[in-house]
Amino acid sequence: MKILKKMIDPSKEVSQLSGQLKQKSLLAGKKVGKNNLPKIDSEESNPFVKEILYECEETLHRICSPLLKDLETEQTGFNQLIEEYKNNGVVLKIVKIKEELKEQEKEEKAKVKKLYEERRNELKEKKTALKLDQKNNQIELDGAPYYNVKTKRVLAFLCTSILLFGELFANAQAASYFARESMFGAFVFAFCIGLIFYFLGWGAAKSWDSDKPMKEKLVGISVYVGITIGLAYVMAILRSRVAEESSDLPAMSAFKMMIINIGFFVAIALVKRFVSPSEKVLKVNAEHKRIKKNIVKNEKNTSKIDKLLDELNRQENKASNKLSEMYQVRLEQQDTLLQQKYQDLKRHQVEYNKTLSRGIQLHKQLNALASECIAIYIQQINMFHKDANNIAMPSIKIVNPLENYSPPIHNHNIQSLFNTNLN
């Protein structure tokens, strides 16, 4: 801090020396001039000039003594670091590590990209297959008509319900043969018999609408008709027996009872054949619904794949950013280390140059002081001496103890080593 203060503001010692030497030069010059003492032109042979130079040089050496130590310390530190960085390849190692980290980051990101690209390609292949299937389904849907069978279904249901209830009440009396006094049991039994007649009529109508040969159709229908006649005969016999046991029942021959049940069978077959939607129509509608269902399903699956693709993109970006952050931290660590090495070297350079600048400035001050004092001395001699020949001002230069430490250390000495534009 003491040396820094001297550089910013000339020390009291230099200031005091300046006042003393100027006063001394003024008196010495007047004495030589007024006493008309012999003039000595050469500064080498002039004792007073030598004295002035000695005073300034001695002061310069005394003040610069700590500066010389600082210069030696900073120069040694600088040269040692330069030697260490060059011989051990410190900077090159750090630069190499950074290059390796960048290459590793590139490879890691390439692996991540490849992994997610494979997953995307799998999903894209599925999406392409779904789109192709969707296109085929749409073509099939355009060629698959749809029939409105709602009205026929309602009408068939009403007709069947009416027929079933009629059959229920028609056979309830015959069913009471088994249920006896239980009317509920009789109605349940009658309902089951009605369902049997219903399925027989439904089966006969379905056989007629089938794609089988006519011979097979007739055989199937004959079987249904035979079963129907047999069952109708049984129900007729049962009612006759019940009628014999109860005088409350209206008289009805077994033949008429058979005709009623066979008529229910025929009515059901006709409703199924002409009122209810045909099997072909139902198959066409079922195929239409199946294709439409596939289209909706494919649309949902395509939407899911799009969401999965978006999610994969987000996951890839997240993984890539995570790698970037991780390697950025490592690179910053190397940059910090490199910056530290640079600053260590830069610190010696700055301190060396500042110390050298102080010494040079002090040399200039004392050299200028010596010149000024000698100029005052010669001016007084020439002013008061009777000899008309004036003494010329000699060239003054005091010895600089810092001369061996010039010039200062330049930035290119550091930048060439670091191969960087760090300042």
pLDDT in tens, the chain (423 residues): 344 444 444 467 788 888 888 898 888 888 887 776 655 554 555 788 888 888 888 888 888 888 888 888 888 888 888 888 877 778 888 888 989 999 999 999 999 999 989 998 998 898 889 888 888 877 777 777 766 767 766 776 676 676 666 666 566 555 555 455 555 566 666 667 777 777 777 677 777 666 677 777 777 777 877 777 777 777 777 666 665 555 455 555 566 667 776 777 777 777 776 666 666 776 777 777 888 888 888 889 889 989 998 998 999 899 999 999 999 999 999 888 888 888 888 898 899 888 888 888 888 888 888 888 988 888 888 888 766 566 767 777 888 888 788 788 888 777 777 765 443
Largest CA distance in the chain: 190
Which distant-in-sequence residues (6+ apart) come within 8 Å of 169 by Cβ?
A: 190
DSSP assigned state of 272: I
Distance CA 69, CA 266 (A): 131
Residues 261 and 197 sit within 8 Å (Cβ to Cβ) = yes
CA 281 to centroid of chain Cα atoms: 55
Q: Check residue 310 and give its pLDDT.
A: 92
DSSP assigned state of 153: H
Q: Which of 288, 305, 295 lies closest to 135, judged by CA? A: 295
CA dihedral sign of residues 164, 170, 172, 178: negative
Q: What is the dihedral angle through the alpha carbons of 4, 7, 13, 17, rounded to the nearest 10 degrees?
A: 170
Residue type, 370: A
Q: Check residue 287 and give its pLDDT.
A: 79
Distance CA 188, CA 29 (A): 157
DSSP assigned state of 423: -
Structure tokens at 48: 């007073």
Distance CA 297, CA 302 (A): 9
Half-sphere exposure of 396 (CA within 13 A, CB side): 25
Residue type, 313: N
Half-sphere exposure of 74 (CA within 13 A, CB side): 21
pTM (two decimals): 0.52
DSSP assigned state of 389: S
Which distant-in-sequence residues (6+ apart) come within 8 Å of 395 by Cβ?
A: none
Q: Which of 397, 330, 296, 411 lies closest to 104, judged by CA? A: 330
Residues 265 and 123 sit within 8 Å (Cβ to Cβ) = no
Phi, psi angles (nearest 5°) of residue 83: -65, -45
Q: pLDDT digit string (tens) for 280-327?
A: 776 777 777 888 888 888 889 889 989 998 998 999 899 999 999 999
DSSP assigned state of 399: -
